[in-house]
Amino acid sequence: MSGTEELLVEPDRLAAELDSAAPPTLLDVRWRLTGPPGRDDYEAAHLPGAVFVDLDTALCGPPGAAGRHPLPDPAALEAALRVAGVRAGHPVVVYDGGDGMAAARAWWTLRWAGHRPVRLLHGGYPAWLAAGLPTTAEAPRPAPGDVTVRPGALPVLDAGEAARLAAAGDGVLLDVRAAPRYRGETEPIDPVAGHVPGAVNLPATEYVGDGRFPAAEALRERFAAAGVTEGAPVGAYCGSGVTAAQAVLALHLAGRPDAALYVGSWSNWVADPARPIATGTTPGH
């Protein structure tokens, strides 16, 4: 992985691409964990040409034992992407409200589905506004796309695989939630607090700030400090696989395109009361 230009695009460059003869397909995936819906923001104003795609209903499956944001049904995802105008082999740019989490999950989902040319607008909608670039409330009517979803292009972990990675000793499973949730001191969303035994805590705020990523070398150093070593397996999880998708993107930027996402994350782990739970500051096996 050579650099951020393959995964991230700055506002001025995106503006130039949108004015070109072959603009990328632009997806607005603004989203909030506790609402209100991102569509409200989209309808108020968005980037010219952007199509709204809902993270909860289009890019993820329905919540349940598999987690709060499980993998989508491939056929349903393909239909949603085609409605949004996603075309086979044609570049896609995704953006969110600025923290980069929903956009990263959209990036991950498209890549997992086999659509490789996809980038994030670095800094999201606020970065576009800060650059003085135009917005509109007019919704486009894209021609139907022809993308074909081919699941499995990025690695995923299920609960058993996550447990084995955390316990193996020759790799690392990163828990990217806030430290109090990892330690088991509080759990504002899921029914049980704590972490997967053996997982290492690396809160997202330690490698990304305000939706912007540091240089690749800084990312490599931070991940190395958390135990990510060259060639050893690495995976990530969070509460429901959204923030962890951002961690996987950061790992790609750091040169680890093999990083796996535990999609179900903690919301899937605690769905089975037989699964062990660790608390405290250390990984704990």
Tell me which residues are annotated as active site.
Answer: 238
**Bridge-partner residues for 9, per DSSP?**
121
Looking up tokens 């309808």 gives: 43
Q: Take residue 247 and report the two structure tokens written for it.
A: 């961690």
d(CA 279, CA 97): 33
Q: 271: how many CB neighbours lie within 10 A of its CB?
A: 18
Report the SS3 class of residue 181: helix
Helices (H) and strands (E) in the chain, counts: 10, 10
C-alpha distances in Å from residue 6, one per residue of 3, 24, 133, 253: 6, 14, 22, 9
Closest to 28 in 3D by CA, of 158, 120, 114, 141: 120
Q: Take residue 161 and report the two structure tokens written for it.
A: 């695989």
Classify residue 3 by its DSSP letter: -
